[in-house]
């Protein structure tokens, strides 16, 4: 594999565990059926400039690697657990997400396919942020995929907890709904704020908003005993969401700098860190 080999290093922050190491090596040492929810965004294999990972493998090599990763996730996921896999294609590799999810059929059932909309234009106004494509052939990519994978496709979800209020309030009495909530469906508009500099993304090329893992965990359901795993933690967004919800998180990443950013973000969530200025200057941390 193209990732550098590093010795795993684990530290506890509050109820959470941050592990600097190779995701495969770390997961192999974890106990089977020990995780309730997995929310992760692995490298997309579309040439993103990570510091310690080559994001441009041959497509079949990438899919084979992801099959191996997902086999470990299947082993770690409890029988009633949910695996939310965030991946995206590109103009040059539009089939990759679908090729990948097809190859995972022996490991999981695809219980739901959610389209994460990052930006949408309504009439003449645009909401959210996207990275424009400079091309005369392709249009901008304003969405990514969230594949909700489970062992048997029978996981009961908290659809209303993750839902939205009715716009037409007459629906509540006419349809005899108990509460003013409805399922939000399989299109989630969770916009990025406009990013003017990579420092606003913690110097990471592929972050996602805290609202995304929050929505995934809320849909699955959680309590104080729930364990979240993010094997490609990056700058720790999933663990920040876990902290806000009272869920115990385990995050793994191979990059020392990103783990340092995740550490400080988590400590900030725990009111142990006053600010993030040290994470935004581009200097190495360890």
- 238-269 tens-digit pLDDT: 999 999 999 999 999 999 999 999 999 999 99
Q: Could you tell me the two tokens for 269?
A: 């969530």
Q: Which residue has the higher pLDDT, 175 or 113?
A: 113
pLDDT-derived band at 6 (thresholds 50, 70, 90) equals low
**In this structure, which CATH number among 2.40.30.10, 3.60.15.10, 3.40.640.10, 3.40.50.150 belongs to the domain 9-279?**
3.40.50.150
* Residues 6 or more apart in contact with residue 145 via CB below 8 angstroms: 85, 86, 87, 88, 89, 97, 101, 113, 114, 115, 116
Residue-wise pLDDT for 53-85, tens only, equals 455 678 888 999 999 999 999 999 999 999 999
Residue 105's alpha-carbon distances to 27, 32, 135, in angstroms, are 21, 20, 35
Q: Pseudo-torsion of CA 16, 75, 42, 242, nearest 10°?
A: -30
Q: Do 220 and 155 touch, CB atoms closer than 8 A?
A: yes
Domain-wise residue ranges, the chain:
9-279
The vertex-21 CA angle with 208 and 259, nearest 5°, equals 45
User: What is the residue whose two structure tokens read 């090729």?
Assistant: 99
- Once rounded to an integer, what is the mean pLDDT over residues 108-133? 91
For residue 5, give the DSSP letter: P
Assigned token pair, 54: 């080559």
Tokens of 173: 């009495």
Per-range mean pLDDT, top range of 67-81, 82-96, 131-145: 67-81
Pair 97, 88: CB distance under 8 Å: yes
Reported as a single tens digit per residue, the pLDDT across 162-199 is 999 999 999 999 989 999 999 999 999 998 765 544 45
How far apart are the C-alpha atoms of 181 and 105, rounded to whole Å? 33
What is the pTM for the complete model shown?
Answer: 0.87
Q: Would you place residue 7 in the very low, low, confident or very high pLDDT band (cuts 50, 70, 90)?
A: confident
pLDDT at 73: 98
Task: Give the pLDDT of residue 135.
Answer: 86
Amino acid 1: pLDDT:
41
Whether residue 20 contacts residue 6, with contact meaning beta carbons closer than 8 Å, is answered with: yes
Confidence band of 50 (pLDDT split at 50, 70, 90) = very low
Rounded average pLDDT over 37-55: 68
CB of 94 within 8 A of CB of 52?
A: no
């Amino acid at each position: 594999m193209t990732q550098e080999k590093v010795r795993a290093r684990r530290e506890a922050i509050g109820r959470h565990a941050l592990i600097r190491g190779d995701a495969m090596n770390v997961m192999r040492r974890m106990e089977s059926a020990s995780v309730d929810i997995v929310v992760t965004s692995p490298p997309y294999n579309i040439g993103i400039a990570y510091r310690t990972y080559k994001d441009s493998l041959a497509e079949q090599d990438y899919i084979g690697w992801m099959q191996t990763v997902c086999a470990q996730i299947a082993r770690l996921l409890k029988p009633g657990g949910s695996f939310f896999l965030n991946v995206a294609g590109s103009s040059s590799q539009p089939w990759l997400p679908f090729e990948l999810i097809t190859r995972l059929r022996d490991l999981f059932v695809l219980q739901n396919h959610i389209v994460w909309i990052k930006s949408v234009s309504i009439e003449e106004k645009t909401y959210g942020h996207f990275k424009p494509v400079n091309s005369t052939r392709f249009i901008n990519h304003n969405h990514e995929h969230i594949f909700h994978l489970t062992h048997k496709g029978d996981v009961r979800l908290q659809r209303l907890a993750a839902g939205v209020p009715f716009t037409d309030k007459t629906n509540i009495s006419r349809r005899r709904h108990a509460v003013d909530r409805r399922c939000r469906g399989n299109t989630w508009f969770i916009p990025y704020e406009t990013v003017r500099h990579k420092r606003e993304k913690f110097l990471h090329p592929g972050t996602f908003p805290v609202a995304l893992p929050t929505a995934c965990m809320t849909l699955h359901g959680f309590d104080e005993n729930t364990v979240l795993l993010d094997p490609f933690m990056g700058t720790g967004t999933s663990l920040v969401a876990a902290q806000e919800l009272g869920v115990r998180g385990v995050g793994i990443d191979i990059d020392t700098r990103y783990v340092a950013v995740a550490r400080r973000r988590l400590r900030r969530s725990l009111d142990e860190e006053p600010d993030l200025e040290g994470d935004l200057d581009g200097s190495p941390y360890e």
